[in-house]
Amino acid sequence: MKHFFRVLLFIAIAALCSGCGSQNGPGSAAGGQGGGGQKDGGKTGQNVRTAETTWQYVDTAMGTVIQQTLYAPDEETARDFSLQAMELLWGLERERLSWRLDTSEVYRANATSGSGEGFLLSRDLAELLESGMELSERSQGAFDMTLGSVTRLWNIDEWAAESNPEGFQIPSRETLAQALSACGYEKLRLEWEERDEGEREEGRGEEEQEENEREKCRIFLPEGMQLDLGAVGKGLGMSELTSLLEGQSSITGAVISLGGSILTYGSKPDGSSWRVGITDPFDKSSNIGILSLEGQWCISTSGDYERYVEVDGVRYHHILDPRTGAPAVSQVRGVTVLLKDGLLSDGLSTACFILGPQEGMALAAEYGAESLFILSNGEIVMSEGMERLFSETR
């Protein structure tokens, strides 16, 4: 059944892509080669050949649609890479980020909440949490990865599948206040310790042992605190996919879309720019403008139209204000952040949504990021560097 839906999804997206030339749909990257959109009737049923050297693959991971446009000399190379990319994303979810799967570090760390013993982290996750905590400080707490118990009350993950899930109830002020009392990045403790000579960590592979050889980091979550890395998951995916692309030479250009997050890499054979559409929050089916980019970039967007639920005509979206535990009241409908690093572009877009255009743009600039804000009154405000890359199309 799942396969049937995947194939349906593939056909729908293939139809969307075929003949669209420079535009693959709202908020998505435009491969720019367009062309045949011819469905390959071959074994996988999962790719579309759109030009001599352009290959497209569609699948799902991290609760979203992953669309890969790859420039490769032949189909085998492209398909091999696309599978590696999917394995990487599934692995990130399974081993690091998921709060639902008991195989992931986040799940296992959450399970130790309140136990004085803490949880030994992989080096990668420890470093991710450190940069996340720095972003929390620099955003004056707008960005906070410790809101898990509150995001669960809002049932945000269910909204992705259905915008009006049956039986949804808005959490009461009291329940929110109680859940919030266990949150707060400043209460999260990470402790780096020297690893004893020859010390081995049960259940970890040889490679992971080596990675963690010099130091180890233990996380301590106070009672009731739960991590939620939803604001940086796709960004981490983009960063890791960048490393995967950089570690090989056959794929000369790529545009990989992870829901609203887009990674560009390398170049097109004809040397033209990557063209990335920015969704119009007032009409999700169209773009408000296009970014023209060269080479590797991570583009992250956070918006109140991405995931929400409507109750009695009121829209409750998925970006929460850590001060109230409720959807952030922001003058922004959508914000797009552009940076080489995916983890930070993703974290920043979430923080910028809450902070609004003035503080948000200043914060993004501190990280060397370009930003674009679409305000509730329809106005577009953007950083100077973004002005050179963005053309409005509405």
319 near ligand AMP, judged by CB under 6 A: yes
Shortest separation between residue 215's beta carbon and ligand AMP, angstroms = 26
Cβ(64)–Cβ(238) under 8 Å? no
Closer residue to ligand AMP, CB minimum distance, 353 or 390? 353
105 near ligand AMP, judged by CB under 6 A: no
Shortest separation between residue 94's beta carbon and ligand AMP, angstroms = 18
Shortest separation between residue 8's beta carbon and ligand AMP, angstroms = 25
341 near ligand AMP, judged by CB under 6 A: no
Shortest separation between residue 191's beta carbon and ligand AMP, angstroms = 22
Question: How many residues sit in the footprint of ligand AMP (CB under 6 A)?
Answer: 19
Among 318, 332, 337, 390, binds ligand AMP (CB under 6 A): 318
Cβ(354)–Cβ(321) under 8 Å? yes
Among 58, 121, 145, 337, binds ligand AMP (CB under 6 A): 145
x/- contact string, 342-361, with ligand AMP (CB under 6 A)?
A: ----x--xx---x-------
Sequence-distant contacts of 200-207: CB under 8 A, at least 24 apart: 201/120
Q: Please, is 380 exposed, middle or buried when counting C-beta atoms within 10 Å of its C-beta (0-12, 13-18, 19+)?
A: middle
147 near ligand AMP, judged by CB under 6 A: yes
Shortest separation between residue 113's beta carbon and ligand AMP, angstroms = 17
Among 143, 274, 297, 305, binds ligand AMP (CB under 6 A): 143
Cβ(93)–Cβ(60) under 8 Å? no
110 near ligand AMP, judged by CB under 6 A: no
156 near ligand AMP, judged by CB under 6 A: yes
The residue type of 149 is S
Among 24, 68, 113, 151, binds ligand AMP (CB under 6 A): 151
* CA distance linking residue 390 with residue 273, whole number of Å: 12
Write out the two tokens for 357: 């255009």
Question: What beta strand segments (E) does the chain contain?
Answer: 29-30, 38-39, 47-51, 54-61, 64-71, 119-121, 189-194, 215-220, 253-258, 261-266, 274-280, 283-293, 297-303, 308-311, 314-317, 332-339, 370-375, 380-382, 390-392
* Helix (H/G/I), strand (E/B), else coil: 54: strand
316 near ligand AMP, judged by CB under 6 A: no
Strand-pairing partners, residue 92, are none
Cβ(337)–Cβ(261) under 8 Å? no
Shortest separation between residue 4's beta carbon and Mg ion, angstroms = 31
Q: Which residues form the interface with ligand AMP (CB under 6 A)?
A: 143-145, 147, 151, 156, 228, 230-231, 302, 306, 318-320, 322, 346, 349-350, 354
